[in-house]
Amino acid sequence: MGYDGVELAGLCGYSPEQVKKMCEEAGLVPISAHVPLAEMSADPEKTMKDYADMGCRYIAIPYLTEEFRPGAENYKSFKKEASHLGELANANGMTLLYHNHDFEFAKKDGEYLLDIMYHDIPASLLQTEQDTCWVKASGVDPAAYIRKYSGRAPVVHLKDFYKSGNAGVSYELIGLEGEQQEKKEEGTFELRPLGQGMQDIPSILKASEEAGAKWLVVEQDDPTKGLTPIECSRISLQYLKSLD
């Protein structure tokens, strides 16, 4: 199709060796992997070694449940655990990332929860993986937020969407249905291929380059109605190529 790499989200029952071989056969670099915090912490040494052996340069915490976020009861323990995981990632030649949604843009004492996290945990141990859809859905300009973390934004998620009215967003993909915003009858929220939604993709690309991003990951949690995931991936890639 023309993509250079892939970001993993689980091994789907395959061994690390099998996944590495599949990536090699497909001609795709295994850029990074999303591994839930509980899974990463259960056997951190093995987890880090497995993904490093596959060739991943980055490993990302995909989200935090509410009790681990800044201001919550277990945030202090999360900071300690994330720092430990960051050290292990570094020791295995990888970098630990945190992938945001929109709920980290709630504020505590006038500061975004996400900013508090990045302030409390050193950049040497935790870097950003900004999901530009959720940044914009929270009311923040993605390009400006990427620039805010210049030098700390090695991987950026390119994700387009359309929203109208009072439509809520869904966290079904990460299993946080309990935190799903109430969906209003009036309005629409849907993820779309790049160039078919509300995002200013060219400005995001420019900001990512200026911030020193190494990889841009095309992501669409759910396929557009009437299209397959592969078709959506192809449309997004064709759009990016049209900008050259």
Identify the CA nearest to 213 among candidates 166, 137, 147.
147
Give the pLDDT confidence score for residue 187 in this predicted structure.
76
- Whether the model clears a pTM of 0.85, i.e. scores above it, the answer is yes
For residue 173, pLDDT beyond 70 = no
Residue 207 one-letter amino acid: A
| DSSP summary character for residue 63 | -
CA separation (Å) from 30 to 6, 57, 61?
5, 8, 16
CA separation (Å) from 36 to 47, 61, 62, 63, 174?
11, 6, 6, 7, 9
Structure tokens belonging to residue 189: 């929220």
Task: Say if CB 210 and CB 239 are below 8 A apart.
Answer: no
Give the pLDDT confidence score for residue 181 in this predicted structure.
52
CA–CA dist 234, 240 (Å, integer)? 10
pLDDT in tens, 41-66: 999 999 999 999 999 999 999 999 99
Confidence of residue 244 (pLDDT cuts 50, 70, 90): confident
What percentage of the chain carries pLDDT values higher than 70?
A: 91
Give the pLDDT confidence score for residue 58 in this predicted structure.
99
Domains of the chain: 5-157+202-242 (3.20.20.150)
Confidence of residue 164 (pLDDT cuts 50, 70, 90): confident
Identify the CA nearest to 167 among candidates 183, 152, 179, 151.
183
